Chain A
Amino acid sequence: MTPLKEQLRERDRRVAELGQYEEKLELKEGDPIRFELLYSKIVQSVTSAHEVARLVSASPMSRELGEIIFGLYTPEGDAVALSRGLLIHVHTMSRMIKWMIQHDYEDDPGFAEGDHYFNNDPYIGGAHCPDQMIVTPIWWEGELVAWAGGLTHTPETGGSEPGGFIPFARSRFDEGLFLPCVKVAEKDRIKRDLEVLVERGIRSPVFWLTDNRAKITGTQMIRAEVKDLIRQFGAGFFRKACREYIEDTRRAALQRVRKVLHPGVYREVGWRGSVMPGSETLLHGPVTMTVARDGRLVLDYEGMSPAGKHPFQGTLPTIEGLVMNIAIQHLFYDLKHNEGVLLAVELKVPEGSAGNPPSIFYPTALWGITYGAGLASGQAISRAYYANGYREEVHATSALSTAYTAGGVDQYGRPFGAHNFEFAAAGLFGTAVMDGLDTAGVEFNPEGEMGDAEIWEQILPPVYLAREIHVDGGGYGKYRGGNGVLSLYLVSGTKDIDVGGFGAAPIYSAPGLMGGYPAGALYMWIGSRTNVRQLIAEGRPIPSGEGEDPAYPDFVRMVGGHWELIPGHNRIGRPAREGDLFTAMTGDGGGFGDPIERDPELVRRDLENRVTTAWTARHVYCVAIDPESLRIDLEETERLRRARRDERKRDGVPAPEYKARQRELLLRGELAKPAARMYRDVLGSSEAFRREFCQFWELPDGWEPVDPDREPEEAA
Chain B
Amino acid sequence: MAEYPDELISDLLRGRLSSQEIGRLQRHDKDVGRARQVLRLEQQRLGWADRILVLLQEHLYVVEKADRSRVVRCDCGQEFGDYRRNWKEAALVRERDGSAGQVYRGPRIADPDWTVLREFYCPGCATQLDVEVVPSGYPFIFNFQPDLEDDKRSAP
Known contacts A282-B115, A523-B108; decide if A619 and B131 are in contact (CB<8 Å): no
Closest to A431 in B: B22
Closest to A694 in B: B139
A651 partner residues in chain B, CB cutoff 8 A: 94
Say whether A507 contacts B114, CB under 8 Å.
Answer: yes
Say whether A515 contacts B141, CB under 8 Å.
Answer: no
Say whether B140 contacts A514, CB under 8 Å.
Answer: no
Say whether B131 contacts A516, CB under 8 Å.
Answer: yes
Closest to B93 in A: A658
CB distance from B87 to the nearest CB of A (A): 10
A34 at the interface (CB under 8 A from B): no
B91 at the interface (CB under 8 A from A): yes
Within the complex, which residue of A260, A596, A692 is in contact with B30, where a contact is CB–CB below 8 Å? A260
Closest to B14 in A: A433
Say whether B115 contacts A550, CB under 8 Å.
Answer: no
Interface residues of B in 97-156 (CB under 8 A from A): 101-115, 117, 119, 121, 123, 125-147, 149
Q: Mark each residue of chain A from 529 to 571: 1 if its CB lies under 8 Å from any CB of chain B, else 0.
A: 0000000000000000000011111000000000001010000
Say whether A264 contacts B126, CB under 8 Å.
Answer: no
A648 at the interface (CB under 8 A from B): yes
A479 partner residues in chain B, CB cutoff 8 A: 15
Say whether B107 contacts A265, CB under 8 Å.
Answer: no
CB distance from A620 to the nearest CB of B (A): 6
B34 at the interface (CB under 8 A from A): yes
A665 at the interface (CB under 8 A from B): yes
Complex Cα distance, B115 from A521, in Å, reads: 10
Say whether B130 contacts A514, CB under 8 Å.
Answer: yes
A716 at the interface (CB under 8 A from B): no
Complex Cα distance, B148 from A251, in Å, reads: 24
Within the complex, which residue of B57, B123, B132, B133 is in contact with A383, where a contact is CB–CB below 8 Å? B57
Q: Mark each residue of chain B from 1 to 33: 1 if its CB lies under 8 Å from any CB of chain A, else 0.
A: 000000001001101010100100110011010
A111 at the interface (CB under 8 A from B): no
B95 at the interface (CB under 8 A from A): yes
Closest to A597 in B: B127
Within the complex, which residue of B89, B114, B131 is in contact with A675, where a contact is CB–CB below 8 Å? B114
Chain B, interface residues (CB within 8 Å), range:
35 or more
Complex Cα distance, B128 from A620, in Å, reads: 12
B110 partner residues in chain A, CB cutoff 8 A: 506-508, 520-521
Complex Cα distance, B89 from A651, in Å, reads: 17
Say whether A652 contacts B119, CB under 8 Å.
Answer: yes
B138 partner residues in chain A, CB cutoff 8 A: 269
Say whether B22 contacts A433, CB under 8 Å.
Answer: yes
A662 at the interface (CB under 8 A from B): yes
B54 partner residues in chain A, CB cutoff 8 A: 262, 387
Known contacts A383-B144, A515-B130, A675-B135; decide if A653 and B111 are in contact (CB<8 Å): no
Known contacts A387-B146, A512-B131; decide if A551 and B106 are in contact (CB<8 Å): yes
CB distance from A294 to the nearest CB of B (A): 11
Q: Mark each residue of chain A from 669 to 680: 1 if its CB lies under 8 Å from any CB of chain B, else 0.
A: 001111100110
Closest to B108 in A: A520
Q: What number of residue pairs across chains A and B have CB atoms under 8 A from each other?
A: 233
Within the complex, which residue of A280, A551, A653 is in contact with B93, where a contact is CB–CB below 8 Å? A653
Known contacts A649-B121, A675-B135; decide if A594 and B89 are in contact (CB<8 Å): no
Complex Cα distance, B133 from A520, in Å, reads: 11
Say whether B142 contacts A267, CB under 8 Å.
Answer: yes
A697 at the interface (CB under 8 A from B): yes
Q: Mark each residue of chain A from 381 to 411: 1 if its CB lies under 8 Å from any CB of chain B, else 0.
A: 0011011111111000000000000000000
B102 partner residues in chain A, CB cutoff 8 A: 619
CB distance from A334 to the nearest CB of B (A): 8
Within the complex, which residue of B90, B92, B117 is in contact with A517, where a contact is CB–CB below 8 Å? B117
A266 partner residues in chain B, CB cutoff 8 A: 143-144
Say whether B22 contacts A648, CB under 8 Å.
Answer: no
A484 at the interface (CB under 8 A from B): no
Closest to A705 in B: B137
Closest to A673 in B: B113
Closest to B62 in A: A387
Say whether A550 contacts B126, CB under 8 Å.
Answer: no
Say whether A648 contacts B126, CB under 8 Å.
Answer: yes
Closest to B55 in A: A387
Known contacts A388-B34, A476-B103, A662-B136; decide if A646 and B127 are in contact (CB<8 Å): no
Say whether A392 contacts B22, CB under 8 Å.
Answer: yes
A residues with a Cβ closer than 8 A to B are 259-260, 262-269, 271, 273, 280, 282, 291, 293, 334, 383-384, 386-393, 432-434, 476, 478-479, 505-508, 511-512, 514-518, 520-521, 523, 549-553, 565, 567, 593-597, 599, 615, 619-620, 644-646, 648-649, 651-656, 658, 662, 665-666, 671-675, 678-679, 692-693, 696-697
- The 4 A-B pairs of least Cβ separation, nearest first, read A520-B108, A652-B92, A389-B38, A551-B106
Assuming A392-B12, A393-B26, what are 12 further A-B pairs, CB within 8 angstroms?
A282-B115, A334-B29, A387-B56, A389-B39, A389-B55, A390-B34, A505-B111, A517-B103, A518-B117, A518-B133, A652-B123, A654-B93
Sampled A-B contacts (21; CB under 8 Å): A266-B144, A273-B114, A387-B35, A389-B39, A392-B25, A434-B22, A515-B127, A517-B103, A550-B108, A593-B58, A594-B58, A596-B128, A597-B127, A648-B119, A649-B92, A652-B121, A652-B126, A674-B114, A675-B113, A678-B135, A696-B139
